[in-house]
Copies of this chain bind each other. A is one copy, B any other.
Amino acid sequence: MADYVKMWKDLGMDLENHDLLCQVLPTAVGDVFLTQENRPAAMDFWDLVISEVHGIRPAELIEEQKKGRKVFGTFCVYVPDEVIIAADGIVTGLCGGSQFWVPGGEAVLPKSTCPLVKASVGARLGRTCPFFRIADMYVGETTCDGKKKAYEILGEDVPMYVMDVPQMKREKDTLKWKGEIEEFAQKVEEFTGNKVTPEKLGEAIHIVNEKRRALARVYECRKSECLPISGRDALLMMQISFFDDPARCAQMCNRLADELEQRIKDGVSVVPAGTKRILVTGTPLAVPNWKLHNIIETSGAAVVCEEMCTGTRYFENLVSEDGDTLDEQFMDLSRRYMKTNCACFTPNRGRIDDILRMAKEYHADGVIDCSLKFCCLYDTEKYTVSRALKEAGVPVLSIETDYTDADAEQLRTRIGAFVEMLNG
A42 at interface, CB cutoff 8 A: no
How far, in Å, is A26 (CB) from chain B's closest CB?
Answer: 34
Q: Which one of B145, B153, B346, B376 lies within 8 Å of A112 (CB-CB)?
A: B376
| Nearest Cβ on chain B to A170's Cβ, whole angstroms | 8
Is A164's CB under 8 angstroms from B167's CB? yes
Is the CB of A168 closer than 8 A to any CB of chain B? yes
Q: Could you tell me how many residues of chain A have their Cβ less than 8 Å away from some Cβ of chain B?
A: 42
The 13 listed contacts between A and B (C-beta, < 8 Å) are A112-B112, A113-B379, A145-B377, A148-B346, A149-B343, A149-B380, A152-B348, A153-B383, A162-B346, A164-B173, A165-B167, A176-B176, A376-B376
A148 and chain B: residue at smallest CB distance = B346
Contact: B380 with A146, CB < 8 Å? yes
User: Which residues of A line the B interface, CB within 8 A?
Assistant: 108-110, 112-113, 142, 144-146, 148-153, 155, 162, 164-168, 172-173, 176, 179, 343-344, 346-348, 373-374, 376-377, 379-384, 400
A334: min CB distance to chain B, Å: 15
Q: Is the CB of A152 within 8 A of B112?
A: no
Contact check, B380 vs A113: say whether CB atoms are below 8 A apart.
yes
Interface contact A152-B384, CB-CB below 8 Å: yes
* Max chain B Cβ within 10 angstroms of own Cβ: one of A142, A149, A347: A149
Please judge, given known A-B contacts A153-B383, A155-B347, whether A142 and B164 are in contact too, CB under 8 Å: no
Task: Provide the residues of chain B in CB contact with A179, threshold 8 Å.
Answer: 172
As for how many copies of this chain the complex holds, the number is 2
With a cutoff of 8 Å between Cβ atoms, the chain B residues found around residue A148 in the complex are 167, 346, 377
Distance in angstroms from A378 CB to nearest chain B CB is: 9
Structural contact, B172 and A383, CB atoms closer than 8 A: no
A347 engages B383 (CB within 8 Å): no
Are B164 and A374 within 8 A (Cβ)?
no
Q: Are A149 and B376 within 8 A (Cβ)?
A: yes
Contact A112 B374, CB 8 Å, known A149-B381, A152-B384, A383-B153: yes
* B residues in contact with A168, CB < 8 Å: 142, 162, 164
Kindly list chain B residues whose C-beta atoms are within 8 Å of the C-beta of A113: 376, 379-380
* A150 proximity list for chain B (CB < 8 A): 380
Q: Which of A168, A173, A179, A382 has the most chain B CB atoms inside 10 A of its CB?
A: A168
For A383, the chain B residues whose CB sits under 8 A away are: 108-109, 153
Q: Which residues does chain B contribute within 8 Å of A142, judged by CB atoms?
A: 167-168, 346
Residues from chain B with Cβ under 8 Å of A176 in the complex = 176
Taking a contact as CB atoms under 8 Å apart, the answer to whether A112 and B373 are in contact is: yes
What's the least CB distance linking A125 to chain B, in Å? Answer: 12
B residues in contact with A343, CB < 8 Å = 149
Q: Does the CB pair A376–B346 fall under 8 Å?
A: no
**How distant is the Cα of A348 from the Cα of B382 in the complex, in angstroms?**
31
CA–CA, A131 and B376, complex, Å: 26
